[in-house]
């Protein structure tokens, strides 16, 4: 084994998932090293969201193994216990396309809910950390606001802070800027880029190719539930080997 | 004519008193117990377990498919023949609670279903259990949606408690009936009872609006 493989934080082998006979993921392999960023790209319906949902326990795969961090490897070919699923879920945190903030809670309550109610960490400590994180993403002074009082970009930054507050090993982003007005995309991408610079391990589903080139260590192009091509961002996004990748990238860069 | 106004004034306090010591506590107790039943039945209906969900559905169907007056009579006049003898008050509270339980269950079920799936998922990803999600994320949001229909249920209940006069519970309408029987002034007394009910319900509607305003504070206007 090479040293880089030793340092894998996420290792997915042979991941399969079908919905009522429709095979959405067919034998997906992924390796993400600790502190690196994987960008998942591909046309709508190719299975990107389902990959993230399988990693976070929102879907139970039909087969394959998922290993996150040290010591936890879940084999979905066998019977999987609730405990294993919970352990898998707790190692990652998800940022949703539509933020999914809790509308009846303030910004601060949204952020501390998991650490206080689930992780049972001391409230005062969690609040202090939350305020710091909020300030870092440019939301100081907004802890008492309700989500509806914030712009989409601000809501998504709260979504990111809510994920960070859980101190996960792995951050999962599902098209974090797709629901935003164009002028609000930049702020959110800047925050994610800073996280990459701080060596957070992340899997990001995105259509922002320029952003993917900047932050990703590896890009995977998926289509029809399989990995079509993977490699360094400069290769996959500028000089892909596969015709399908080439067409997809071309279409995203030249929509008309 | 003077006599009639005298009668109105002299009977007003007994009627209002019947409302305050009969109608209001009867409605409040039945509503609170009914909501507990309703939440349980709503959760049964939403349960993946087919038997539980069928039992819940059957309960709602029976309550909604039979007259409240018949339910009340079954409990007060029917149960004694199988050896269960209940006083008027407990009979009334049981009948009205079961009735509210059936109607409010559907309201609560619909309110729970109206909370977007993304809320359950977000709660799941921050590590919450199902019951934690229900308690802290879903029910608070469902509560907001269900306040207007539940308030209507409560106002209907306040009026429906007049049926308890038929099993001799001393409440607003029975007080009016007794004065009417004694004075033979049916029109005066029954219109008076109607006016007192109307005042009670108007006050409740105002309370409903205030509650809705309060619960709306986290929603864009
Ligand atoms: N819960 C589900 N039930 C049935 N089909 C689903 C479900 N979730 C996703 N799918 C299907 O799986 C395929 C992949 O979906 P998804 O992972 O969301 O793709 P992407 O995120 O790449 O657009 C799509 O055809 C979608 O319709
Ligand atoms: Mg998707």
Residue B212 sits in a domain whose CATH number is 1.10.3720.10
Would you state the pLDDT for residue A6? 54
Q: Are A97 and A174 in contact (CB under 8 A)?
A: yes
| Lookup result for tokens 């797709």 | A178
Would you state the pLDDT for residue A1? 40
Ligand nearest to the CA of A223: 1
Would you state the pLDDT for residue A4? 46
Which ligand 1 atom is at minimum distance from the Cα of A51? Answer: 17
Write the pLDDT tens digit of every residue in A69-115: 988 999 999 999 999 999 999 999 999 999 999 999 999 999 999 99
Q: Are A98 and B118 in contact (CB under 8 A)?
A: yes
Minimal C-alpha gap between B216 and chain A (Å):
9
Would you state the pLDDT for residue B1? 57
Question: A11: CA distance to ligand 2 center in Å?
Answer: 21
| Per-chain mean pLDDT for chain A | 95
pLDDT level of residue A255 (50, 70, 90 thresholds): confident
- Among the ranges given (A221-225, B4-8, B23-27, B56-60), the one the predictor scored with the smallest mean pLDDT: B4-8
Would you state the pLDDT for residue B213? 86
DSSP string, A123-169: HHHHHHHHHHHHHHTT-TT-TT--GGGS-HHHHHHHHHHHHHTT--S
Question: A100: CA distance to ligand 2 center in Å?
Answer: 15
Q: Are B141 and B115 in contact (CB under 8 A)?
A: yes
**pTM of the predicted model as reported, rounded to 2 decimal places:** 0.90
pLDDT level of residue A5 (50, 70, 90 thresholds): very low
Q: How far apart are CA B162 and CA B166, in angstroms?
A: 8
Write the pLDDT tens digit of every residue in A147-164: 999 999 999 999 999 999
3-state secondary structure A18-54: EECCEEEEEEEEEEEECCCEEEEECCCCCCHHHHHHH
Residues of A within an 8 Å Cβ radius of B? 56-58, 86, 89-90, 93-94, 96, 98, 100-105, 113-114, 117-119, 146-148, 162-163, 166
- Kindly determine whether residue B121 and residue A118, on different chains, have CB atoms separated by under 8 Å: no
Query: A55 is written with which tokens?
Result: 């990693």
ipTM: 0.93
Would you state the pLDDT for residue B123? 98
Q: How far apart are CA B76 and CA B91, in angstroms?
A: 6
Mean pLDDT of B60-89: 96
Write the pLDDT tens digit of every residue in B133-161: 999 999 999 998 999 999 999 999 999 99
pLDDT level of residue B216 (50, 70, 90 thresholds): confident
Question: A45: CA distance to ligand 2 center in Å?
Answer: 7
CATH number of A3-91+169-253: 3.40.50.300
**Residue B146 is part of which domain span?**
2-220
Would you state the pLDDT for residue B214? 83
Write the pLDDT tens digit of every residue in B21-51: 999 999 999 999 999 999 999 999 999 999 9
Query: B44 is written with which tokens?
Result: 């049964």
What's the structural domain count of chain B? 1
Would you state the pLDDT for residue B97? 98
Domain boundaries, chain A: 3-91+169-253, 101-167
Write the pLDDT tens digit of every residue in A228-237: 999 999 999 9
């Amino acid at each position: 084994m090479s040293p880089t493989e030793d340092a894998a934080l996420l290792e997915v082998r042979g991941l399969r998932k079908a919905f009522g006979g429709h095979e959405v993921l067919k034998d997906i392999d992924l390796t993400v090293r600790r502190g690196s960023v994987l960008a998942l790209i591909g046309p709508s319906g190719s299975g990107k969201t389902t990959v993230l949902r399988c990693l976070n326990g929102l879907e139970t795969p039909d087969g394959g193994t998922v290993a996150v961090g040290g010591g936890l490897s879940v084999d979905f070919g066998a019977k999987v216990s609730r405990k294993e699923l919970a352990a898998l879920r707790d190692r990652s945190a998800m940022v949703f396309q539509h933020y999914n903030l809790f509308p009846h809670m303030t910004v601060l309550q949204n952020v501390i809910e998991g650490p206080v109610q689930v992780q049972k960490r001391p409230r005062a400590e969690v609040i202090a950390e939350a305020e710091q994180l909020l300030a870092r993403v440019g939301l100081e002074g907004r802890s008492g606001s309700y989500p509806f009082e914030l712009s989409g970009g601000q809501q998504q930054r709260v979504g990111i802070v809510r994920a960070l507050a859980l101190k996960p090993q792995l951050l999962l982003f599902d098209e974090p800027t797709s629901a935003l007005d164009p002028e609000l995309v930049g702020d959110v991408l800047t925050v994610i880029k800073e996280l990459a610079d701080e060596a957070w391990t992340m899997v990001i589903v995105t259509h922002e190719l320029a952003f993917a080139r900047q932050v990703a260590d590896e890009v995977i192009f998926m289509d029809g539930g399989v990995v079509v091509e993977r490699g360094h961002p400069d290769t996959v996004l500028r000089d892909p080997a596969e015709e399908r990748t080439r067409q997809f990238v071309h279409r995203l860069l030249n929509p008309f | 004519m003077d006599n009639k106004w005298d009668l109105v004034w002299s009977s007003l306090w007994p009627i209002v008193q019947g409302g305050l010591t009969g109608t209001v506590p009867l409605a409040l107790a039945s509503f609170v117990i009914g909501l507990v039943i309703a939440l349980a039945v709503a959760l049964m209906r939403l349960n993946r377990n087919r038997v539980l969900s069928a039992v819940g559905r059957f309960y709602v169907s029976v309550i909604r498919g039979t007259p409240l007056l018949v339910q009340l009579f079954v409990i007060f006049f029917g149960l004694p023949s199988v050896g269960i003898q209940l006083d008027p008050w407990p009979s009334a509270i049981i009948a009205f609670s079961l009735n509210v339980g059936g109607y409010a269950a559907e309201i609560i079920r619909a309110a729970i279903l109206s909370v977007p799936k993304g809320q359950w998922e977000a709660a799941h990803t921050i590590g919450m259990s199902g019951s934690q999600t229900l308690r802290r994320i879903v029910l608070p949001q469902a509560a907001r949606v269900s306040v207007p229909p539940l308030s209507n249920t409560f106002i209907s209940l306040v009026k429906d408690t007049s049926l308890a006069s038929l099993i001799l519970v001393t409440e607003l309408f029975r007080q009016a009936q007794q004065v009417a029987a004694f004075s033979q002034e049916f029109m005066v007394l029954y219109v008076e009872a109607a006016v007192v009910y109307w005042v009670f319900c108007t006050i409740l509607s105002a309370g409903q609006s205030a509650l809705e305003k309060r619960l709306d504070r986290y929603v864009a206007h």
